[in-house]
Structure 1
Amino acid sequence: MQVEDRTRAAAWVGLVCGIGLVARLFWLQVFAAEELRAAGRGQSKITVTLEAPRGSIYDRDLRPMAHTVGGASPKKDRGGSVISSRGGRVYVGREASAHVVGFVGSDGGGLEGVELSRDEALTGVKGRAVLGRFADRRTIELERRDPVGGGHVVLSLDLELQEAAHNALRAGVEKERAESGSAVVLDPISGEVLAMANWPSYDPGALGRSPIDSRRNRAITDLLEPGSVFKVVPFAAAIDEDLVPGGARIDCGNGKIRIAGRTIRDVHPYESLPFEEVLVQSSNVGTIHVAEIVGPERLYRYSKGFGFGEPTGIDLPGEGRGKLNAPGDDLWSGLSLACLAIGQEVTVTTVQMACAMGVLASGGILVEPHAVLRMLGPHGEVHAVSLRRPVRRVVKPETAARMTRILTRVVEEGTGTNAAIEGVRVAGKTGTAQRAHPEGGYEGGGYNSTFAGYLPDRSPPLVIAVAVIDPREEHYGGTVAAPIFREIAELIVRRDAVRGPRIAPGSALARVRVPSLGGKSIDQARNELERIGLRTRVEGEAGRVSQQEPRPGTALTRGASVLLLAAPSQRDDTMAVEVPELTGLSIRGAHRALLDLGLGLRLDGNGHVIGQLPRAGQRVAPGTVCSVRAEPRSGGAS
């Protein structure tokens, strides 16, 4: 009996062990076969992430500004482990375009500039590779899903112009031992930013070599009081609202005015000046009186219209909005209207200054600026295009045209002569603003030097705005910022000369010279202009031409307008005036002397007068235009 029990138990044990063995063999044959075969060959599996190549950034002519070198294929390190190489990011413009292009971090993600704002588009889709590795360290690829490269960004920047702006700005800032500076070149018609430079700058490929503060895109982040550049706002408002009659003179208080217990002074004192001359000579006192005519509510409305006190909407990260106090706010005081009129108690960015001047350059329209021209797919297919985005009409076209004529005089005979380019009409405004002291007030706070202008005879009439912060050698906008403007503008002019004239679509290619019209009847002048294809705009009483704008000899495209200032006709024998002696006078002095006698001025050169026609002592009819030749000399500006 015992033998049978032991036999039965052994049988059951054998049966169970047999079933387990069969099950184990089945699992090994079916489920673990591949693993066992690999193990038999000494093979192991490794899964590798394949990084997608980051898209490139190009300038408007598809010149690379940032691109990635190196592939995404798996590679082995010295120990035989497989790694994925992201490759290095190369920045072509380096310091010149660093603030717009930006840079990437150690993980390849964008941290500043377009690298940040378009990071999602530039970043592709990662791939995956499964690798088999043998005991003898041989590796084979078992399966693979390729990465999809990132898209590409085409900027509106012109790399050549960007580098020129960078070089001019850096030289100007270093020459004046200034704290910093920024410059923007803007197409006011399309809103495209062709250049945006800052100094100090940094090399995005060597971040450790420069302080963090140098990475700030000051053109859109840093706020400054613009000074006299802001004077275009009260003058445009007065013209647009037709608040100042033709021929009116503005009280300039002999160079000083006292408001709310504070005395505001002019660099050059005047008793009074004609309305336009106030802006040409940048009189603070006269501008304050113009602002009083406009009124606080209207001045605030036009300031907002020009884009101050709000972001421009540019497609770059970190833009500041600036400060613009409204009448009735807690910060608005009895001094605020006067301060706002001359560009104090208001803070702006350089790109806001460019957009505001662009209103006048474009014929009265504020346009949203943008730095990205279009987005491309991984293979170059166009995914998106940046379109022109007009924000609003700010002033009438006639107002913008008249402001352009005034700002042209600023450069030809006023405070902006250092921005002048021989043979090219330039319109612009200088600015010099005291900087607020950290402990309050303006005493000892240094200065901001600014200039904003454009090339009105060009299509598009590119705007250039320059700001230099705390210069230590000179501080007037006309001596610090205007030369930087000129250097950038001269490159544009030289390139246009090589590439051919930039003329608006639909206009005649032929350009004509404006004739001398002084002393002629309005009808004679109008007929003469019509014969050469120019239009006429008359201001003042009917009679004879006393002044004209632009000046004789200026090249205009057919269809452009010439402003004629008319004076009542008088008999020459009773109203003839004697031409004053002008030799040795400054251009301002000569212009005042002629203006007081009702005579016009045609200027050749800058500085002090060395010759004149008609000669001194000759009697001429009122409205006669006197030709004056001057020697170039450097001079201050405000």
Structure 2
Amino acid sequence: MATSPKHSYIRLFCLLCITFLGIILLRLGFLMLFERRSVTSYTDPKVANQVIRGTIYDRNQQILAIQTPYWGVYLHLNAIKDLQLVSEVIAPYVQMNPDEIQKKAAAYTTYAQIKERIDDRMVQPLMDAIQKYSLRGQVNVEKRMGRTYPAQFHASQTIGFINTEGEGIEGIELSQETYLNPYPALGDTHTTYGQDITLTLDLDIQYTLDVQLQQIADEHMPDYAMALVLDASNGDILGMSSYPWYDVNALSSSNEEQRKNHAVNNLFEPGSVFKLFSLAAVLKSGEAHTEESFECDGTYTFKAGESNITINCTAVHGLVDPETMISKSCNGAIVHWALQTDAKAFYDVLNSLGFNTSYDIGLPSRARSQIAPPSTWSGRSQATISFGQELLSSALHLATAATALCPSGELLRPNLILRRTSPVDGSVLYERERTVLEKVLDSETTALIRSGMLKATQQGGTGIRAHVAGIDLGVKTGTAQILNPQTNSYEDGTVLASTLALVPIDNPKYIVYVGAGNPKGDTIWGSNIAAPAIANIVQALISQGKLIGKNTTIR
């Protein structure tokens, strides 16, 4: 019978496969017999046995976070002959009763952690007791390295914390992980040291802010509160407080809300505090008739397309000039001048003041202030932006923008990390520099705005409760309605009570911001909640020798 073409192709394919496989086998055999190569051996490189995490300091070299040894107590369950005896012996030193120890041991099978960290003073007495009762091999007292935060809850959201593996999880501990916790160095060196980091914070100022936020919390019961103090000359953040807070040393009892840094990461509509920057935009553009006093009768109505929109003031202010607008916080006047100003020119100045910027201050997250471009504005947008609605800002952005209200008119970059140094020889590896982001305003404009802020602390001004005898400071108060994103409405009654201050007002040394979200006491006004806190902070700065009263001449 004739072979079919199909079967012929199959036999040919099989023959080719067998031939190819034979060639491969011959080649492998040749390599194995005649081209045996020498085997290269590798050994792991020598590295340091341990890494000591760098220390975090405030600007005065007070310790904020430091690596410290601690002692834990563990049981070798398989080696224990009498658990009752072991429990009774170690109980006084681990501050537990014997029943608690046995119950905890029951949760393990071979090696039980009884106490993660015991009092250092108990270590030697416990070891003596282990020796006395011949419990070696049954009870272990192990030395490990941990992290201690001496300031406890002060600046806790800024500093952050580490996990059980010694890795940074939040705050400076996370963002500076590479510097604080480097890889073990190659060579015979026993220990690798992480770099030390000095923050711009001043713990004395930090304590002052925290005390004031606690007082606000006790009296006005806000959902959250925040405070900042900036060095007006270089942008250094001297204090940054966020309430509610937590003790970093008791991390397990904290929650997400307590760990949030409201001073940096909370974006909100700033309300009337923003009038300072709207007026700056109006004055710089030079288009509004600010030299003509505005007559405030308690309301202001303007036309937007075919609609009439009415803006209310909290009172009848009468004749209002730019300084009076600040001191009495007149909505009608700032709206009137903003609407006389070209929208793009108005927007460009606000943009140059940092209100579409995110600032890298060395923390893991960078909140971005937001003002939509004029091309997207409705008929009322420019008006509402002028008194602090239809935009998002943070406390950091407001305080930073205020650097441009100082005589130089320069917007400064904010700083949180002052320097990084070698713990071995103290050499400086990085140091912050004063950085001018932009020259925004002229001295005449800044002087006029600061004059209005000063008047706000005098009789008839909204910031009279921020007044401090012997110190001429200027403020702008604000009580902003908080938009409910679910209903897109301001009608649910929540507010942000705030005040921004420059002190002393002629040539500011400090910029201070205090804000409280949704207060629930007998008042909701920034003039009654945040302004008194500003006065207390200024009084504390005087007590600390950081401010000295003098006569004021605004220039």
Normalising by the smaller structure, the TM-score range is 0.7 to 0.9
TM superposition shift of 1:261: 5.1
Q: Which moved more, 1:117-126 or 1:373-382?
A: 117-126
2:500 paired with 1:464 = no
Alignment equivalent of 1:100, drawn from 144, 152, 158: 158
The separation in 1 between residues aligned to 2:202 and 2:532, in whole angstroms, is: 21
Amino acid at match of 2:446: A
**Do the aligned residues in 1 keep the contact of 2:54 with 2:67 (CA within 8 Å)?**
yes
Amino acid at match of 1:66: A
Alpha-carbon displacement from aligned partner over 1:197-227 (angstroms, at most 9, x marks no partner): 0000111111111212211111111111110
Amino acid at match of 2:316: P
The separation in 2 between residues aligned to 1:112 and 1:71, in whole angstroms, is: 22
**Structure 2 residues not aligned, in runs of 5+:** 1-45, 77-135
2:232 paired with 1:188 = yes
Alignment equivalent of 2:392, drawn from 347, 350, 371: 347
2:313 paired with 1:255 = no
In structure 2, the CA distance between the partners of 1:257 and 1:203, relative to structure 1 (3 Å rule), is: same
Which residue in 1 is equivalent to 2:63?
64
Alpha-carbon displacement from aligned partner over 1:522-578 (angstroms, at most 9, x marks no partner): xxxxxxxxxxxxxxxxxxxxxxxxxxxxxxxxx14xxx556xxxxxxxxxxxxxxxx
What's the C-alpha RMSD, in Å, of the aligned pairs? Answer: 2.8
Amino acid at match of 1:481: A
In structure 2, the CA distance between the partners of 1:204 and 1:278, relative to structure 1 (3 Å rule), is: same
Amino acid at match of 1:153: I
TM superposition shift of 1:105: 0.9
TM superposition shift of 1:366: 0.7
In structure 2, the CA distance between the partners of 1:204 and 1:49, relative to structure 1 (3 Å rule), is: same
In structure 2, the CA distance between the partners of 1:85 and 1:55, relative to structure 1 (3 Å rule), is: farther
Which residue in 1 is equivalent to 2:412?
367
* Alignment length (residue pairs): 442
**Do the aligned residues in 2 keep the contact of 1:362 with 1:461 (CA within 8 Å)?**
no
Identical positions, percent: 27
Alpha-carbon displacement from aligned partner over 1:239-296 (angstroms, at most 9, x marks no partner): 3344456752113244343554543211102354233212221111111001112232
Which residue in 2 is equivalent to 1:424?
471
The separation in 1 between residues aligned to 2:480 and 2:554, in whole angstroms, is: 34
Amino acid at match of 2:374: P
**Do the aligned residues in 1 keep the contact of 2:474 with 2:505 (CA within 8 Å)?**
no
Amino acid at match of 1:470: N
Which residue in 2 is equivalent to 1:122?
180
Alignment equivalent of 2:207, drawn from 146, 149, 163: 163
TM superposition shift of 1:325: 1.2
SS in 2 for 1:87: strand
Superposed, which structure 2 residues align to 1:538-577 within 5 Å? 555-556=551-552
TM superposition shift of 1:399: 1.2
Higher RCO, 1 vs 2 (CA within 8 Å, ≥6 residues apart): 2
Which residue in 2 is equivalent to 1:295?
342
TM superposition shift of 1:232: 0.9
In structure 2, the CA distance between the partners of 1:170 and 1:261, relative to structure 1 (3 Å rule), is: farther
The separation in 2 between residues aligned to 1:458 and 1:148, in whole angstroms, is: 50
The separation in 2 between residues aligned to 1:434 and 1:561, in whole angstroms, is: 33
TM superposition shift of 1:420: 0.9
**Do the aligned residues in 1 keep the contact of 2:323 with 2:448 (CA within 8 Å)?**
no
Alpha-carbon displacement from aligned partner over 1:162-217 (angstroms, at most 9, x marks no partner): 01101111211331111001111001221110000000011111111121221111
The separation in 1 between residues aligned to 2:247 and 2:538, in whole angstroms, is: 26
Superposed, which structure 2 residues align to 1:516-595 within 5 Å? 555-556=551-552
SS in 2 for 1:412: coil
2:549 paired with 1:491 = no
2:527 paired with 1:481 = no
TM superposition shift of 1:68: 1.1
2:411 paired with 1:411 = no
TM-score, normalised to structure 2's length? Answer: 0.74
Alpha-carbon displacement from aligned partner over 1:585-626 (angstroms, at most 9, x marks no partner): xxxxxxxxxxxxxxxxxxxxxxxxxxxxxxxxxxxxxxxxxx
SS in 2 for 1:186: strand
The separation in 2 between residues aligned to 1:365 and 1:295, in whole angstroms, is: 23
**Do the aligned residues in 2 keep the contact of 1:250 with 1:278 (CA within 8 Å)?**
no
In structure 2, the CA distance between the partners of 1:315 and 1:195, relative to structure 1 (3 Å rule), is: same
Amino acid at match of 2:153: E
The separation in 1 between residues aligned to 2:185 and 2:139, in whole angstroms, is: 18
Which residue in 2 is equivalent to 1:453?
501
Q: Which moved more, 1:91-100 or 1:270-279?
A: 270-279
In structure 2, the CA distance between the partners of 1:144 and 1:239, relative to structure 1 (3 Å rule), is: closer
TM superposition shift of 1:430: 0.6
TM superposition shift of 1:382: 1.5
In structure 2, the CA distance between the partners of 1:251 and 1:293, relative to structure 1 (3 Å rule), is: farther
Amino acid at match of 1:491: A
The separation in 2 between residues aligned to 1:113 and 1:411, in whole angstroms, is: 36
The separation in 2 between residues aligned to 1:242 and 1:410, in whole angstroms, is: 24
TM superposition shift of 1:151: 1.0
TM-score, normalised to structure 1's length? Answer: 0.65
TM superposition shift of 1:416: 0.7
TM superposition shift of 1:80: 9.3
The separation in 2 between residues aligned to 1:239 and 1:100, in whole angstroms, is: 37
In structure 2, the CA distance between the partners of 1:375 and 1:460, relative to structure 1 (3 Å rule), is: farther
- The structure with the larger Rg is 1
Give 1 or 2: higher helix fraction: 2
**Do the aligned residues in 1 keep the contact of 2:284 with 2:441 (CA within 8 Å)?**
yes
SS in 2 for 1:62: coil
Amino acid at match of 1:402: L
